Amino acid sequence: MSGKRPDGEGTVRKRSDGRWEGRVVIGHREDGAPIYKSVFAKTQKELLPKLHAVIDEYRGVDLSESGSMTLSEWTERWMREYAEPTLRPNTFRSYRQLIDCYIAPALGQKQLRSVTQKDVQRLYNSLKKQPVSRTESDRTLSDATVRRTHMVLHEIMEAAVRARLISRNPTQGTKVPKNNYKPKTILNEEQLESFMEAIQSEPVWRDFFYTEMTTGLRLGEICGLKWSDLDEEAGRLTVRRSVKKGPGGALEIGETKTEKGTRSILLPASTLRLLRERRAAAVTEWIFPSPLHPEDPVSPSSAYNRLKKILRDAKLPDLRFHDLRHPYVKLKTKKSRIFWTDIAYGALTAKVV
């Protein structure tokens, strides 16, 4: 109730069963009635430290009665009112999967304000031992999955703090696995030349991979490029959107991965010439349209699968698509100014000035 605050003082009494009870007002119901938090002990001496701890925890807060709902009830409300309106569809689906598979089964039926740091830590510890699936009982969940679960639960509980449902976020202070990224596979100069030679036999994909190697775009970003994003006079390419695969294989076109993802890139001279020539023969708004349905952008999964085939055929190391960005990033971080000069789209060359 607006204007009413917990009094910050505890009351102590001896119960008829012989135990001692300490109570603190931690909030108010809509009708103004107080909400109490109780602690118990066998003796008054044992009770006082517990009571003081509760007073400190709830000092300055005024919780609402909704904190008595279960974690699952709050999670569904949070997903509906907070997450769905702001998250991209793929991100929303990933949150849903983590909640349904890991968070709800372990903690969903607990009262929201009863979830403790120990409960959360117990969840993370159990996930580290959980098999990936029934058919792969010897493989446990990855550290990345546990970290993503922690991230989602932290957001859910932080929103509960802001909504005055709980006094503190129980995910704080927990221990989660450190990032354990798979090492990047980086092509050396000889392998890089082999890759650039290999894409010459891919007329449909040559321009796509050459542009990728000289711009360092994310997979969804390069698939989502339109001709309206190319400023030929300024020699710049603006990244405005990203393409992802949705449910049932349908493509979803949305914003870039992060706010900083929307950016302008100064193109190397060779890439600008390539795109100018490509534009002259364009029949669609997409710079890299689907080979079978040019009214649509190229599918990220098609580009990924083609990359794997090119690498296999050229007997090159297996790469993630993201690893193709490394040569671009490496060159961009050099102190020298580097200009790409290979306009024949053959072996990748650079001139340092």
Residue 261 has what pLDDT? 60
176 alpha carbon, distance to own chain's centre: 16
- Write out the residue range of the structural domain in which residue 330 sits: 189-352
In a domain, 298, yes or no: yes
Q: At what angle do helices 143-162 and 89-98 cross, to 10 degrees?
A: 100
Asked whether residue 193 falls in the same domain as residue 325, the answer is yes
Angle CA 101–103–106, to nearest 5: 100
Q: What is the length of the chain? A: 353
Beta carbons of 342 and 193 less than 8 angstroms apart? no
Sheet (strand 20-28) strand order: 10-14, 20-28, 34-41
Task: Tell me what the mean pLDDT of segment 207-223 comes to.
Answer: 93
What percentage of the chain reaches a pLDDT higher than 70?
A: 83
Of 29-38, 42-51, 238-247, the least confident:
29-38
**Residue 182 domain flag:** no
Is residue 101 domain-resident? yes
Contacts of 281 (CB under 8 A, 6+ apart): none
Would residue 333 count as lying in a domain?
A: yes
The answer to whether the beta carbons of residues 121 and 71 sit under 8 Å apart is no
Q: Are residues 49 and 98 in the same domain?
A: no
- Identify whether residues 104 and 30 lie together within a single domain: no
Would 299 be classed as within a structural domain? Answer: yes
- 348 and 255 housed in the same domain: yes
pLDDT reading at 353 higher than 50: no
Region 142-161: mean pLDDT is: 94
Looking at the structure, do residues 158 and 194 belong to the same domain, yes or no? no
Residue 57's pLDDT is what?
A: 74
pLDDT tens per residue, range 232-291:
999 999 999 999 887 777 888 887 765 566 789 999 999 999 999 999 999 999 999 999
What DSSP element (H or E) covers 55?
Answer: helix 44-58
Q: Is residue 2 part of a domain?
A: no
Overall average pLDDT of the 203-210 stretch: 94
**Backbone φ/ψ region at 3: left (φ over 0), alpha (ψ -120 to 50), beta:** left
Is pLDDT larger for residue 73 or for residue 23? 73
pLDDT band, very low/low/confident/very high, at 1 (cuts 50, 70, 90)? very low
What does the alpha-carbon distance between residue 35 and residue 27 come to, in Å, rounded to a whole number?
5
Q: Based on the structure, what is the number of domains in the chain? A: 3
Is the per-residue pLDDT at 226 higher than 90?
yes
57 and 126 together in one domain: no
Residues 286-297 have pLDDT tens digits of: 999 999 999 999
Do 58 and 138 fall within a single domain? no
pLDDT at 348 over 50: no
196 and 261 co-located in one domain: yes
Structure tokens at 292: 């079978």
Give pLDDT tens digits for 174-184: 999 887 767 77
What predicted TM-score, i.e. pTM, was given to this entire model?
0.62
Whether 275 and 327 share a structural domain: yes
- pLDDT surpassing 50 at residue 231: yes
> Which two tokens mark 281?
């023969």
Same domain, 102 and 151: yes
d(CA 326, CA 329): 5
Dump pLDDT digits (tens) for 308-333.
Answer: 999 999 999 998 888 887 655 444 44
Report the alpha-carbon distance of residue 216 to residue 338 in Å, rounded: 15
In a domain, 184, yes or no: no
Q: Give which of 272, 267, 254 is closest to 216, Cα–Cα.
A: 267
- Asked whether residue 72 is domain-assigned, the answer is no
